[in-house]
Amino acid sequence: MALTLRKLLPALALIGAAAVMTGQAFADPVTLQMWTNATNDPLKGIFQGAADAYHAAHPDVTIQITPIQNESIGQKIQLALASDSPPDIFFNQGAALLATQMESGKVADITEFTKSWIGDVGAAAGNWAYDGKQYGIPYTMHVVGFWYRKDLFEQAGISAPPTTMKELDDDIGKLKAKSIVPIAVGGKDRWPDAFYYDIFALRLCGEESMKAELKAGKLQDKCFTDAGQVQLDFLKSEPFQPGFNGTSAQQGPGSSAGMVANGKAAMELMGTWNMGVMQSLNDDKSFVDKIGWFPFPAVEGGKGDPTAALGGGDGFSCTTNAHAEICADFLHFLSSKDVQTQMVKANSITIPVVAAAADAIELPVLKQVVDFNSKAAYVQTYFDLALPFGVGQALDDAAANMFAGQGGASAVVDAVNSAG
């Protein structure tokens, strides 16, 4: 089943020059069901184009894609893995979430089929590996920072992005004085709220103790309670839009991403996928020239390195119901330079797992993000993925409840330690 340019035909118009695949043809046709969280273009179309291109080169293999809304896909996957008919390929963010999913016995070990090329993916593949075995492949990595409207900052007299919490608080006041919503947040989905707690802890806690306690699933260091207090103090400034607890993060123009895309809010703390999301929520594509990005500011008195980043990655795993060799081969295709480059050019991903694909980045703001990621002291996996699944959900819920006015400084610590 070697993939050749001659076999790709019209599919090349979307994907471009294709990577060389390995594997053997099947005597009978094979259909693999694939669940993704890409419900909007451009990424939705790129995945479909990749499936079409792969089928053009391997007529005996069909990839049927089912897009599922991001906030629903995690629970649907959990239920599917507990059933007798999970999808063959499923969206996965690796780390402790994947470890939890592996307890179902339905996640396939694809080590044998990836060992000849896994090095091309680099260190990013580590979050999808356990005990020396590979259980998934990422197609992008990401970090969290503030996406902001340069035009709204200018209206408020803000000449440069803030680098400290004091400067951020001052800028929030300047934006409010101009009747501009300082920060949009998708509180309805809860996980965007947790970004704040995670980064406050990242800025306050020393790297060694933070990583050790996340690994143990127990938060004992005082810095984690201090992070809760810093979050409560920040909330007192009322930086978010009215009704933020009922706002979705990415669904529709009224979402937090849509508010920034359409100039209804000045900032949003979000991952590097946000440019692609905002593009899908704004018909005026020239808005990208008005978008800037800056890392989360330093927190005064913190032990954490201010250049450390919060982040993770997106990828896919195969289930034991799938033809593991073919599934792994398709994941190899998704992580190839050509498909990665297509994703980058569409601004649907910012940090590709194949470094060479980053050469296709054109927007200066995205180059800035990649540069920050490359120079970060380290990238800490999102707390809800670094912790076991149930414990991570408890953390997200506690952080979101604080945004809703419920819980004191120790709320997150108490929730995690009770769930662990």
Q: How confident is the model at residue 280 (pLDDT cuts 50, 70, 90)?
A: confident
Mean pLDDT, rounded, for 408-419: 96
Residue 343 confidence (pLDDT) above 60: yes
Q: What pLDDT digit, counting tens, does each position of 123-180 carry? A: 889 989 988 899 999 999 999 999 999 999 999 999 999 999 999 999 999 999 999 9
**Cα 113 to Cα 131: distance, rounded to the nearest angstrom:** 16
Measured CA distances, 109 to 77, 86, 129, 316 (Å): 18, 16, 9, 13
285-301 residue pLDDT tens: 788 899 999 999 999 98
- Paired tokens of 376: 């970060």
**What's the pLDDT tens digit per position in 227-254?**
999 999 999 999 999 999 999 999 999 9
- Say what the pLDDT of residue 19 is: 42
Contact assessment for residue 369 and residue 380, using Cβ atoms and an 8 Å cutoff: no
Q: What value does the mean pLDDT take over residues 218-224?
A: 96
Q: Tell me what pLDDT residue 145 has.
A: 97
Query: Residue 342: pLDDT above 50?
Result: yes
pLDDT value of position 26: 55
Residue tagged 């990424």 (tokens):
43
Q: For 297, what's the count of Cα atoms within 13 Å in the CB-facing half-sphere?
A: 17
Residue pair 137/115 in contact by the 8 Å Cβ criterion? no
| Nearest alpha carbon to residue 14 among 47, 55, 61, 39 | 47
Retrieve residue 153's tokens: 């900052």
Q: What is the mean pLDDT of the chain?
A: 90
Residue type, 259: M
Domains of the chain as residue ranges with CATH? 5-141+312-364 (3.40.190.10), 143-310+372-419 (3.40.190.10)
Q: Does position 14 have pLDDT exceeding 70, yes or no?
A: no
Q: How would DSSP label each residue in 189-249? A: GSHHHHHHHHHHHHHHS-HHHHHHHHHHT---SHHHHHHHHHHHHHHTT--BPTTGGG--S
**Are the CB atoms for 98 and 316 separated by under 8 Å?**
no
% residues pLDDT > 70 (the chain): 94
pTM: 0.86
Structure confidence at residue 4 (pLDDT): 30
pLDDT at 183: 98
What mean pLDDT do residues 82-101 have? 90
